[in-house]
Amino acid sequence: MDAKEFEFRPTKEGARSKSPGVIGRLSNFARSKTRHSLNEKTSNSTTFNEKPKKVEECRPPQRLPHFHIAISNLHIMVERCLHSSLTCQPMICLLEGTVRRRDLHREFQRCRDNHDLRLDLSSNDITSIPSSIRDLTQLTELFLYKNKLTQLPHELGNLVSLRKLGLSENALCSLPDSLATLTQLETLDLRHNKLTEIPPVIYRITSLETLWLRYNRIVSIDEDIGNLSKLKMIDLRENKIHSLPASIGKIHSLVVCLLSYNHLSKVPDELGLCISLTQLDLQHNDLIELPETMGKLKNLVRLGIRYNKLRSLPASLENCTQLEEFIVEGNHLQQLPDAMLTCLPKLRTVNLSRNELAGFPQGGPQQFAAAVTINMEHNRINKIPIGIFSRASGLTKLNLKENELLSLPLDMGSWTSITELNLSTNQLKVLPEDIEKLVNLEILVLSNNQLKKMPAQIGNLKKLRELDLEENDLETIPSEIGFLLLLTKLWVQSNKLVSLPRTIGNLASLQDLRVGENSLSSLPEEIGHLDCLKSLYLNDNPSLHNLPFELALCSSLEIMSIENCPLSQIPPEITAGGPSLVIQCLTEGRRGATPDRPRSPICYWLRSEPYASHRYLKWLSYRPS
């Protein structure tokens, strides 16, 4: 049973539709020129005989002892690759490559003679299994993954000792009835085949504990599923199942039931009899309602019902007191049963996003006492109740994007444990000064609001790594932003900025700076101190006519966007060459505009660049430093 297979993950946020403009990727030539400029800045002499950094030796991982079967046109050569001090028990056969039918006969003979318990014939393009497999009665594990099997031989039923049978990624449409004799079979893997129904013989293998049927074409499940009284895990994800039989309630041993990506419109009341269930995945179906009997699943830890058509939830879910993950994203819920979440004291993940909620669930602060992640994006919430997170001492991620929030609560400063806060796409006009108390905040997203200014207290968020202020009405950025020494991403596109603070040069960790779609007329010279800057978006600043020479000192710069910036003080022949040529010219311009030679032409560069015209020379020689 693979617990990791059953994971609920929030939908990744898509890229923004608004383009930042044409992105220019700097050439290697430009970067090398820039690095050379940096070296001249820091030292008058350059050392060319420095020893290269020591690179750690990369060794392939040690192989565990096993048998390599080398298959040639004439024979199969078996090499026993064992360490001198190790033995391999039980022996394992592994075939790699394309196997011919006569090779399979020889392999079966060898496997029988060696009394191997496990045989792996995966990834060999096998189209059929010879009947001689009937002699391998000692096998307990047989793996035939990734072949081209369309059917199995009747003789497979002779392998009465089998406990694991792996048949995924073939083209099987049915199974032979002889498999009913496999009375010790515990695990059967039939993922990625062409089954349109669960083969009837499976209902007769009552020893089964784990059954994988994901990625098939199964339309229905027979009532005989109730015969599998020992079944602990069943995976029926990504099929075409329209309904579940009532007999599923007979499988009291069932612990994990995975049914996502089907066409279920309802689940039977009898599902509530599967009292051992800890994980129930019903995501991406057509469910309109859930039965009240769901409340009997008192061992349920993970419930996934996102992306259905639910308009309400049964109040009995409050009895599922072991729930740790409650994910109902993408339904039509307008409210939850009163105080339901309060009755679920172990909830760590609460995802109510993409519903029609007009407010927070009834239940007060206690309902989020154990919450670590709360996602309520894309609803109709216009207010955050004061004190609603006062007991959420472990809350680290809060997502309230795409709602109708007009303001933030007065006790916002008590959210001290939060590391990620997303409030984008609301109607916020003011950010409280108490924001400074969120001392653990690492990611703050406030894009697409109506903010006119940022409080100076933003500089007290010493752990902040990402700050997104896109699409607001900001006219200035406080100089205190220079205290955010760990900041790697600063997005302020689509605002009303006319300048950037000189303290931006203090952001030693900054890698991504986006200031496009503003009204910038210049950039501060201190931008040259951003040694880690990799991406710079300046696009769509209609008042930006020039760039500082110091920009060439950004030695890590790889991407720069200057689309729709006039840059009238830079010759059009240069800007037409794109960001790469602009950086080259800034680099050479900085060399020429030194205190000793403020107006000296850069003759050596013109000699090495024959395409440079007299106009370039004039611009580089007489541009004020």
Predicted pLDDT of residue 505: 97
* pLDDT tens per residue, range 535-591: 999 999 999 999 999 999 999 999 999 999 999 888 888 888 888 888 888 887 766
Q: Is the dihedral of CA 214, 10, 21, 508 positive or negative?
A: negative
The closest alpha carbon to 399, from 350, 438, 356, belongs to 350
What pTM does this model have? 0.78
**Residue 624 predicted with pLDDT over 60:** no
Residue that is written with structure tokens 């690179």 in the block: 55
Q: What's the pLDDT at 101?
A: 64
Average pLDDT over residues 123-128: 94
User: Quick one: how far is CA 178 from the chain centroid?
Assistant: 44
- Domain spans in the chain, listed from the N-terminal domain onward: 66-218, 572-625
Inform me whether the pLDDT recorded for 613 exceeds 70: no
409-440, pLDDT tens digit by residue? 989 999 999 999 999 999 999 999 999 999 99
Q: Percentage of residues in the chain with pLDDT exceeding 70?
A: 78
Is the predicted pLDDT of residue 16 greater than 70, yes or no? Answer: no
Buried b (16+ CB within 10 A) or exposed e, 160-175: ebbbbbbbbbbebebb
- Topology of domain 66-218, CATH: 3.80.10
The amino acid that residue 338 corresponds to is D
Over residues 344-368, mean pLDDT: 94
CA 381 – CA 498 distance, rounded (Å): 34
3-class state of residue 166 by DSSP: strand
User: Among residues 430, 382, 385, 417, which one has the least CA distance to residue 402?
Assistant: 382
Q: Based on the number of CB atoms within 10 Å of its own CB, is 549 exposed (0-12), middle (13-18) or buried (19 or more)? A: buried
Check residue 27 and give its pLDDT: 45
* pLDDT of amino acid 95: 52
Is the pLDDT score of 78 beyond 50? no
Under 8 Å between Cβ of 542 and 564: yes
Residue 29 has pLDDT above 80, yes or no: no
237 Rama class: left (phi>0) / alpha (psi -120 to 50) / beta: beta
Q: What percent of the chain has pLDDT over 90?
A: 73
Instruction: Give the pLDDT confidence score for residue 582 in this predicted structure.
Output: 87
Using only C-alpha atoms, the chain has a radius of gyration, in whole angstroms, of 33
Which three-class secondary structure state does DSSP give residue 529?
A: helix
**Segment 121-132 mean pLDDT:** 94
Q: What tens digit of pLDDT does each residue of 269-286 get?
A: 999 999 999 999 999 999
**More confident site: 340 or 4:** 340
Distance, in Å, from the CA atom of 494 to the CA atom of 496, rounded to the nearest integer, reads 7
Predicted local confidence at residue 576, as pLDDT: 84
Angle, vertex CA 305, rays to CA 301 and CA 309, nearest 5:
160
pLDDT digits (tens, 9 = 90+) for 470-485: 999 999 999 999 999 9
User: Within 10 A of 427 (CB to CB), how many other CB atoms are there?
Assistant: 13
More confidently predicted of 547 and 53:
547
**Cα distance between residue 120 and residue 140, in whole Å:** 11
pLDDT in tens, 504-533: 999 999 999 999 999 999 999 999 999 999
Reply yes or no on whether the pLDDT at 47 is more than 90.
no
Ranges 250-264, 334-348, 556-570, 572-586: which has the least confidence: 572-586
Which pair of tokens denotes residue 207?
């020893």
Weakest-pLDDT range from 27-31, 84-88, 220-224: 84-88
Average pLDDT, the chain: 83
Q: For residues 461 and 436, is the Cβ–Cβ distance under 8 A?
A: yes
**Dihedrals φ, ψ of 343, to 5°?**
-85, 0
Name which of 94-103, 307-316, 325-334, 344-353 the model is least confident about: 94-103
Handedness of CA 99, 102, 107, 108 (dihedral sign): positive
Looking at residue 592, its pLDDT comes to 55
